[in-house]
Amino acid sequence: MATKSLKKLGNDLAQSNKQIEILSNGIFKSGELPTFKDKISETSQFPIKAKKLEILQINVGYMCNQVCDHCHVDAGPDRKEIMTRDTMRQCLEVIKNSGAHTLDLTGGAPEMNPDFRWFVEEAAKVGIKDFIVRSNLTIIRANKKYYDLPEFFKKHNVHVVSSMPHWTRGKTDKQRGDGVFDKSIKALQELNAVGYGMPGSDLKLDLVYNPSGAFLPGDQVAMEKDFKKALMDDFGIEFHNLFAITNLPIARFLDYLIASENYEDYMYSLVEAYNPAAVENVMCTNTLSISWDGYLFDCDFNQMLELPVNSKSRHISEFNEELLEGRNIVISQHCYGCTAGAGSSCQGVVA
């Protein structure tokens, strides 16, 4: 179980260029596996073009109270990158003036940004249709200053999307750290207690499942059924939907794949499961990812690999929706992760 980020440990893989080098060479350079660009070219899907902007995903900081084994952000308590209120103001201007109908706050633990509540309150005023906060759940139990988060979320009708690796203690704690399961269960019960996740409730509570190791997620519908039954039977917990997400081979998950000698097999699995139908709906086509320091990326993964948008509009301070629409999406081999099987996005399957 990790206790520090790759960055803090001085691991080579904390550098995005090292990750891209590994992803681009080896089995891909030798032609053993087709590059993602070649693969999508077979079905004339290259280049992938950005459609109309619908979702703004804002990473308000890499600081987190957890150090999960597979974190693609390499987040943790030792990460100090935090979005300032000035950058948040610039984001708010974009929210007011763009066609985006969904706001998706992520991190790290977004709640740890000192201006998190201010931002939620301000953003809630501008008529966003779906206001998502990606919560790791344990933050709600981490410190008494966070204990009222369920009430705060309810007050602003925040859509809570929470990570939950498995319905068993063992698998969850293995991926996320000892005690995470019990704290997550308690947090879910507290969210249920204020009305989140209940059948027919407008207070949306969705869970995110990602595999605990070097394998792809199973069928989302079947997994949701299993999660619902187990969480209800064991703890009386209700939630709305389960999103099954594929682990992308970057940052700590890439480190794990290499250290466990699973990298090649995993990439084979992704390529073998490639589904051209998923390419049509990958999240990067209608989403913009904004980093803690205001730069624009096609997705959260490209943000971590420091692959900026292919546009003259590269920072929130110079946001230009017209320039961004129709841009060519920046791709690399990690994109196989979003197009394997039924596809993967922050909202689960896409095909």
Partner 1 sequence: MSKPYYDAADLRKFGKITEWSEELGTKFFDYYAKVFEEGALTAREKSLIALAVAHTEQCPYCIDAYTKDTLQRGITKEQMMEAIHVGAAIKSGATLVHGVQMMNKVNKLDG
Nearer to partner 1, 219 or 318 (CB): 219
CA distance 205 to 223: 16
318 DSSP 8-state letter: G
Name the residue among 84, 55, 103, 68 with its Cα closest to residue 251.
68
Nearer Cβ to partner 1, position 121 or 272? 272
Q: What are phi and psi of 143, to 5 degrees?
A: -165, 145
Token pair belonging to 84:
């300032």
Task: Give min distance, CB of 165 to partner 1, in A.
Answer: 10
**Residue that is written with structure tokens 């017209």 in the block:** 322
The torsion angles phi and psi of 186, rounded to 5 degrees, stand at -60, -45
Considering the complex, state which of residue 182 and residue 264 has its C-beta at the smaller distance from partner 1: 264
- Would you give the DSSP letter of residue 95? H
Residue spans of beta strands (DSSP E) within the chain: 55-59, 102-106, 130-135, 159-163, 205-209, 242-244, 287-290, 296-297
* Chain residues that interact with partner 1, rule: CB under 8 A: 166-168, 170-171, 209, 211, 213, 215-219, 222-223, 226, 265, 268-269, 272
Instruction: Find the shortest distance in angstroms from Cβ 155 to partner 1.
Output: 34
Please state, as a whole number, how many other Cβ atoms lie within 10 Å of the Cβ of residue 86.
Answer: 11
Nearer to partner 1, 21 or 233 (CB): 233
Q: Output the smallest distance, CB 168 to partner 1, in A.
A: 6
Minimum CB distance to partner 1, residue 226 (Å): 6
Compare residues 75 and 271 and give the one whose CB is closer to partner 1. Answer: 271
